[in-house]
Amino acid sequence: MISGRQIQPAATGPASVTNTLRAVGIGVQRGGRSLLAEVDLALGTGEVLVLLGANGAGKSTLMKCLAGELGADQGQVLLNGRELHRWRALELARRRAVLPQASPLSFPFTALEVARMGRIPHGGARASSEADDLTIAAEALAAAEAEHLAERRYTTLSGGERQRVHLARVLAQLWEPLPGDEPQWLLLDEPTASLDLAHQHGVLALVRRWAHRLGRRPVARRLGVLVVLHDLNLAAQYGDRVAILKQGRLLASGTPAEVLQPEQIQTAFGLPVRVIPHPDSECPLIIPRSM
Amino acid sequence: MLALVSLVLIVALLSIAIGPVTIPPADVLRALGGLAGLPAGEIAPQHEAVILSIRLPRTVLGLLVGAGLAVAGAAMQGLFRNPLADPSLIGVSAGAALAAVSVIVLGASGLAGVTAFLGPFSLPIAAFAGGLVTTLLVYRLASSEGRTSVTTLLLAGIAINALCGAGTGLLTYLADDQQLRTLTFWSMGSLGGATWPAVGSAALMIALPLLALPLLARTLNALLLGEAEAGHLGIAVQQMQRIIVALAALAVGAAVAVSGIIGFVGLVVPHLLRLALGPDHGFLLPGSALLGGALLLLADLLARTLVTPAELPIGILTALLGGPFFLALLLRWRRTAL
């Protein structure tokens, strides 16, 4: 614990520390292999941070550490200034939601019931909260463009439809701002993996609106979003910042224009690319060259 | 839910009325009213004796055992995230039975200290312990990294059933005539041992899981999403899993202690309810308690009346009905997942 305090950079004031989800020098070893080493990464409110990296670079491991699902062997993770393991599970669940790559759910809940499970950490004994939860679940489904699936059985849905229902579930989990507008965190592990083109953009545009406080709901909140993606152009288009992992180490982080450079991408992915200005927006456009 | 309550009441009434001596339902109601302190009408004394000392304890026991097995089945299916987990299939009932049989056969010799210490509760407590150990064992074998493998689950069940069967067989071989008579009833299951003391001990042990498991409905729902996902929703996963395992084992252990191995109730009942009401444990657990009690009473009624004056072991009957049901489920599973 004492060493953890020493690690904290002196330049970071207490105010900014309590407004971040922060990995400080974390390392993870499993079976003699190093999965993560010396990773420092801070996610702030009001931003979408995209995590990139080749297969096995440690993206999911880092995500699990930040979610508290996996304890880091070195370093620590701080959420709103407090170490992750010092939070009670329920308090944590009201402050951060995690969208997994896939869920082993195999029971025929309706999509609405699945979305409503996001309200479990908010469950009170009040009868009115049940009705509120249903309303929120329905609105979250609508936000995730899955409104029409509400009464469908989860087991009959396609992979992409299931993913959107789970997105609605994690949106429902963070639907309301916390008292005192304490920062909340949304962690999405490859949310676009099984989505069609339109929904890939729809989902990322949605979380970007949430982070930038542009949506109709929620009114005002402080939210930071971490997204694991494979598509560099989606990262460039929707990320406020981009971080690249390579073999468990942080290779680069910064704005898309800073990080998504040909040499950097060649190093991280082993793929030669050309990077040109996007014709319609300010972000870079990455074009793979034939290998 | 109202329909289920009515079903339970009707079946209970039939179960008390029908038997070697048929008692008119009006007399049954009068006798029950008398118990509740209402002004009792005229009722034949032998009818009253049959009701109070034979039919009523058996009916109450049937409701308890059926409810306990069905709720335990539903909870285990939630825990294992698999609709094929049944206490008898995955070896929990066999483990409970082995422990109970040990107490019957070795109670006077090897385990004398234990039985002297626990008194009349030694049988149900031993069955509970046996059920607990096997549930934990199966869970360890079948789960890794928050995922449960159906194949490993069922294979582990086969192995544990075989092991416990061998143990029970060995003890049967060692048993004397008196013990053998008791053991036969174990292996096939029966509500024939219904006396008020047996009902009382079963009620004490089954009431806790019956009341507590429905309170964990949201937790069980969340666990179906996966262990990591449930954890992200603020659930203390490992702690909750331990509690659910203990409660389910308690219900199965108590049921096995009073009625032997009655299979498939825990499989068939939650499955029927999921088809009708969906998988939400908020409905599933109380519904399973009601339908489980009603179905077991109905099976007991058949077991008592099909071959009068003899009596079929109820475990054979539930296996005859549940076996094909399970096979049909397996076929459906093979087509969809596994």
Q: Which of B229, B271, B338 to mutate to test the interface with A (most CBs of A within 10 A)?
A: B229
Does this model's pTM top 0.95? no
CA–CA dist A54, A52 (Å, integer): 7
Cβ–Cβ pairs < 8 A, chains A and B? 76
Strands A74-79 and A184-189: unpaired
DSSP state of B331: H
Distance (Å) of CA A222 to CA A71, A118, B271: 26, 19, 44
| Distance, CA of B6 to CA of B10 (rounded, Å) | 6
pLDDT tens, B255-307? 988 888 888 899 899 998 998 888 999 999 999 999 999 999 999 999 888 88
Q: Say if CB B99 and CB B127 are below 8 A apart.
A: yes
Quick one: what percent of chain A has pLDDT higher than 70? 90
Mean pLDDT for B182-193 is 78
Helix axes B217-224, B56-79, angle to 10 degrees: 40
Over residues B148-169, the pLDDT tens digits come to: 676 787 788 889 989 998 998 8
pLDDT of A10: 37
Q: What is the pLDDT of residue A14?
A: 45
Residue A127 confidence class, pLDDT cut points 50, 70, 90 = low
* Residue of B136 and A48 predicted with greater confidence: A48
Q: Please check the confidence at residue B103 and state whether its pLDDT lies above 90.
A: no
Mode of pairing for the β-strands spanning A96-99 and A184-189: parallel
Letter for the amino acid at A3?
Answer: S
Beta carbons of A104 and B221 less than 8 Å apart: no
Which phi and psi angles does B68 have, rounded to 5°? -60, -45
ipTM of this model? 0.88
Cβ-Cβ contacts under 8 Å, A154 against chain B: none
pLDDT at residue B338, as a whole number = 39
* Closest listed residue to residue A49, CA positions, set A172, A248, A226, A264: A226
Residues A200-256 have pLDDT tens digits of 999 999 999 999 877 555 556 789 999 999 999 999 999 999 999 999 999 999 999
**Cα torsion at A142, A114, A193, B237 (round to 10°)?**
140
Residues on chain B touching A109 (C-beta within 8 angstroms): 221, 224, 278-280
DSSP B277-317: H-S-HHHHHHHHHHHHHHHHHHHHHHHHHTTTTS---HHHH
The region of weakest confidence among B1-15, B36-50, B52-66, B79-93 is B36-50
pLDDT of residue A177: 84
- In this structure, are residues A25 and A38 in contact, taking their beta carbons and an 8 Å threshold? yes
Structure tokens at B81: 């995230």
Chain B residues within an 8 Å CB radius of A94: 234
Is residue A46 within 8 Å of residue A54, measured between CB atoms?
Answer: no
Q: Which pLDDT score, from 0 to 100, does residue B290 have?
A: 96
Segments forming the whole domain that contains residue B321? 2-336
What is the three-class DSSP state of A108?
coil
How many C-beta atoms surround the C-beta of residue B333 within 10 A?
Answer: 15
CA distances from B229 to A160, B221, B236, B334 (A): 18, 11, 11, 26
CB A94 to CB B229 under 8 A? no
Q: If you count them, how many residues does chain B have?
A: 338
Tokens linked to A126: 């009040």
DSSP character for B40?
A: -
The mean pLDDT of B222-229, rounded to a whole number, is: 91
Of B218, B231, B274, the CB nearest to A89: B231
Best CA proximity match to B75, nearest among B224, B298, B254, B293:
B224
**Mean pLDDT of all residues in chain A?**
88
**Exposed (0-12), middle (13-18) or buried (19+): which is B336, by Cβ within 10 Å?**
exposed
Count how many Cα atoms sit within 13 Å of the Cα of residue A102 in the half-sphere of its side chain: 9
Interchain proximity A117–B222, CB inside 8 Å:
yes
Number of domains in chain B: 1
Q: What is the C-alpha to C-alpha distance for residues A228 and A63, in angstroms, rounded to an integer?
A: 8
Alpha carbons A26 and A39: distance in angstroms, whole number: 5
Cis omega before residue B124 (within 30°)? no
Asked if the Cβ–Cβ distance from A100 to B82 is below 8 Å, we say no
CA distance B100 to chain A (A): 34
Structure tokens given for A231: 């598509």
Task: Indicate whether B49 pLDDT > 90.
Answer: no
pLDDT at A12 over 60: no
If interface means Cβ-Cβ distance under 8 Å, which residues of chain A face chain B?
64, 67-69, 89-94, 96-98, 100, 103-110, 113-114, 117-118, 120-121, 123, 155, 173
CATH code of residue B35: 1.10.3470.10
The answer on pLDDT for A122 being more than 70 is yes
Domains of chain A: 47-67+88-95+178-288 (3.40.50.300)
Helix (H) or strand (E) holding B240: helix B237-259
Top-confidence range, A93-97, B25-29, B80-84, B139-143: A93-97
Cα distance between residue A51 and residue A234, in whole Å: 11
The answer to whether residue B125 scores a pLDDT higher than 90 is no
A16 — pLDDT class (breaks 50, 70, 90): low
Distances (CA, A) of B250 to B30, B107, B223: 35, 21, 20
Distance, CA of B333 to CA of B328 (rounded, Å): 9
Give dist(CA B245, CA B229) in Å, integer: 19
Please tell me the distance from the alpha carbon of residue B7 to that of residue B12, in angstroms, as a whole number: 8
- List B3's β-bridge partners, or say none: none
- Give residue A247's region: left, alpha or beta (phi > 0; psi -120 to 50): left
